[in-house]
Chains A and B, each alone.
Chain A
């Protein structure tokens, strides 16, 4: 598959995070986060467990509330205004580690629910679009099954299709492959690579360093709630600057 890491990114800004801080009670999880993401960028976020990676990307679609600083997504400022939050959420897709499909709905219903109720898409059109994306993730034949009847890899691909049905401009991935068996990791990564090739703006928390090298145009390393280092993948992996990054990379690549 083509190396997408050299693909062009546009100048249009997708996400701006400015001096963002977040606390859980008195625990300072995210510290002075500054990050600008352009339209079409593929960013991989890595770092040790508990460093705040999930919290960071969950702040972007307001699943977590931040206390200081600002987050702007596609020109909409994230505030307590529910209208803004709903607007941003319908522009930003998210995939979770544990898929979080709706077990009481069929695959097709999982994919059409949000377009029908949030976007008010007519049912027929929503179903056509859902089938289109299910074909894209290569499971159109499972459309009428329930999530419980699918393998983990298939469920995660459905979850991706479900997000895509909302036609998001940005996709967030929180360790999408870490609950999967090795055999299924590849099918999910292939789907994500395809998305990247089509120019989707992506922020992925992942420990799949092969994926990072192949797809990302920027790798961000976080530790203790801070962005410690960010660079292009080649530089990041071959020539890490900070000691903490070196230690992390030696641990994760060492075996």
Chain B
């Protein structure tokens, strides 16, 4: 440091302010990208070559199979004839049986517009829930939707969904009124008022109402195909999230009885395979209902899947609740918020946000698990494939095409859910905590 004038190597004073400058432009170009990302060193280069080889192998055997696919024959034997030993898929089965795969084999063909309409309306009903920047007024339709969809899909007398809706409305009003004083009074009052309305409504609806109805009644056992998977998936997910929240909060409750009920329920349900619960639903659950009540198989399955996934969701949310610092509860308390307010405004929004990946994980799993109903002889998509379609003489042996179709349908929905959850996480990000 010979040129240092004051002979002190440590002393330094900035003599000018360094002006702000834009970040350096990134170098671009395909060649550079390839070299940096694929062949940056020898091991990476080898890995890249191996990956390309594997990709080639996979594509070279599947692509011709797909591209050579036959769409127009009326049986597997004809497919084989047309192909004459070349590789090629026999997609004709999809072309001929798509209605059965999507709607089951008993849903009346001239009524397909009803589930289709229900599906389209589902998007409108879900939009204000999923994209909460939309005007809140749209939620009104979301509230009506379950009853509307029920009527569309099952048909029959319009009085049934209306009475059901009135029951829920009465319950909500009673809960609003009584719930202010004491939660328990509101809760049980709501249940009683709903039951009363349903009982009265049930007596008022004439026996033969469903015969003269606007929409022909379709019994639950006639539902099937991918429609059944969608119905089970949507219903169970939307029921199990609130139930899971309630269970998670119950598990944290300071009231020992509630706490232990929740703990025992969660631990029990998580410890039992879903298949077992479904068998219980199909053969045994009727013992728990009054003898004259014939509870629909669809409803029984919905109850079981919902309970099952609610237990998982409860545990996911418990993790989210545990991740919140104690200071959040204290700050809410010190401002004078009561328990429901603190939960709804402060704790749950944060805990749920942390739990999104976990909840989505459960939801995706649940949706795929709806195919398990095929083992209790409900004809969902997989049930249709394993049963009526593969058993028919024409299509016996077309495994790849059918199962690939099922996989593709499930993949589209599950990928959509996953993309939504990633969008949601980005949307809710508010900087570091």
> Interface on A for B, CB 8 Å cutoff?
61-63, 82, 86, 89-90, 92-94, 96, 98, 100-104, 113-114, 117-118, 146-149, 162-163, 166
Contacts and interface: CB of A to CB of B under 8 A. Distances in A.
A100 B336 contact: no
Top 6 closest A-B pairs, CB basis?
A: A148-B431, A90-B336, A100-B331, A100-B327, A114-B335, A146-B430
B338 interface: yes
A61 B430 CA distance: 30
A117 B350 contact: no
B433 interface: yes
B430 to A, nearest CB: 4
A86 B335 contact: no
A162 B332 CA distance: 11
Interface stretch (B157-165, B268-276, B304-312, B341-349): B341-349
B396 interface: no
Interface string B91-109: 0000000000000000000
Q: Interface centre among B325, B336, B430, by most A CB within 10 Å? A: B336
B335 A166 contact: yes
A148 B433 contact: yes
Contact of A86 (B336, B349, B431): B336
Interface string B388-432: 000000000000000000000000000000000000000010111
A118 B336 contact: yes
Contact of B341 (A61, A103, A117): A117
Contact of B334 (A94, A104, A147): A94
Contact of B333 (A89, A101, A113, A166): A89
Contact of A103 (B330, B335, B337, B430): B430
B328 to A, nearest CB: 6
A78 to B, nearest CB: 14
A101 B331 contact: yes
Interface of B: 325, 327-328, 330-331, 333-338, 341, 345-346, 349-350, 353, 428, 430-433
Given A86-B336, A113-B345, A114-B336, A104 B331 contact: no
A156 B341 CA distance: 23
B337 A104 contact: no
A88 B427 CA distance: 37
B335 A89 contact: yes
B349 A104 contact: yes
Choose among A86, A114, A146, A163 the residue with the greatest number of B CB atoms under 10 Å from its CB: A114
A63 B333 contact: yes
25 contacts: A61-B333, A61-B334, A63-B330, A63-B333, A82-B338, A89-B335, A90-B335, A90-B336, A92-B334, A93-B334, A94-B334, A96-B327, A96-B331, A100-B327, A100-B331, A102-B350, A103-B430, A104-B349, A113-B335, A118-B336, A146-B430, A147-B431, A148-B431, A148-B432, A148-B433
A43 to B, nearest CB: 18
A162 B331 CA distance: 10
Nearest to A146: B430
B430 A117 contact: no
A102 B328 contact: yes
B315 to A, nearest CB: 22
A98 B345 CA distance: 20
Contacts of B337: 113-114, 117-118
B431 A100 contact: no
